[in-house]
Amino acid sequence: VALARTAEGSRVVQEVLEQATSDFQRELIAAEFHGSAIKAMRCPHGNHVLQKCIACLPPAALQFVVDELMGEEGLLTKMARHRYGARIVQRLLVRCEASQVVGIAEAVLQDAAALCCHSFGSHVVQRLLEVGTAEQRSSLLRTIVENMQTVGCCSSGGGVVAAALAHASAEDRLLVARAVVGDASTLYQLARGRHGHAAVLQMLSELQGP
């Protein structure tokens, strides 16, 4: 664990994980982080090792990371707002079985309105929109629509709205479009942003129909 906290040591551990010839060998390395996953994900070098573990290990072997994130109330959403922690949360959502990350998804859903407007947390929301279950995506979309004036006007809102449009059903895309177009200030603020501009063009197309 100490080795992973330095730039050179982090690279060495990552190379060992890549070159290991079996999951058993990789799990032995990952076992060194049991009880220290949160410290690793906060570290500018250790987080890369943890990301490599998530990429290389089978989902079942990553349960210790999920358990540590869920072991303290409020910790998951705190790490979703962290520069490095947000990357770990996203990778877990992508890599783990849906049943493994139900608690993570629920915590994100409960704090979704605030996370949408956070520079790092918004990326976690976008990832859940991409890989979440249909029910989770639907719940996120409702939260975004209900809070569109706030989400659409914040600096991170364009990426969230664009992700919502990219991963929503045709019916839900219309709900998002109507929520934006129905408020001139939100429409203006979204159109000014890099991601929001493209999203606004897509929404106008959706509303015009075929």
Tens digit of pLDDT for each residue in 25-49?
999 999 999 999 999 999 999 999 9
**Residue 47 or residue 165, greater confidence:** 47
pLDDT level of residue 193 (50, 70, 90 thresholds):
confident
On the question of pLDDT at 172 being above 80, the answer is: yes
Which pLDDT score is estimated for 197? 80
Which run of H or E residues covers position 208? helix 194-208
Which pLDDT score is estimated for 174? 87
User: Which residues touch 82 (CB under 8 Å, ≥6 apart)?
Assistant: 41, 42, 120
User: Which residues touch 152 (CB under 8 Å, ≥6 apart)?
Assistant: 161, 179, 180, 183, 186, 187, 189, 190, 196
Helix 184-192, helix 194-208: angle, nearest 10 = 130
Candidate from 59-73, 107-121, 174-188 with smallest mean pLDDT: 174-188
Which pLDDT score is estimated for 209? 67
Question: What mean pLDDT value characterizes the chain?
Answer: 92
- Rounded to an integer, what distance in angstroms lies between the CA atom of residue 28 and that of residue 43? 21
Which pLDDT score is estimated for 29? 93
What's the distance, CA 205 to chain centroid?
Answer: 28
Which pLDDT score is estimated for 206? 75
pLDDT level of residue 183 (50, 70, 90 thresholds):
confident
Query: Tokens representing 118?
Result: 């956070």
Which pLDDT score is estimated for 3? 87
Which pLDDT score is estimated for 194? 76
Q: What is the mean pLDDT of residues 51-69?
A: 96
Helix, strand, coil % over all residues of the chain, rounded to 5 = 80, 0, 20
Residue pair 122/152 in contact (Cβ under 8 Å)? The answer is: no
| C-alpha to C-alpha distances, 35 to 38, 68, 69, 143, nearest whole angstrom | 8, 7, 11, 34
Residue pair 76/89 in contact (Cβ under 8 Å)? The answer is: yes
- Rounded to an integer, what distance in angstroms lies between the CA atom of residue 25 and that of residue 18? 10
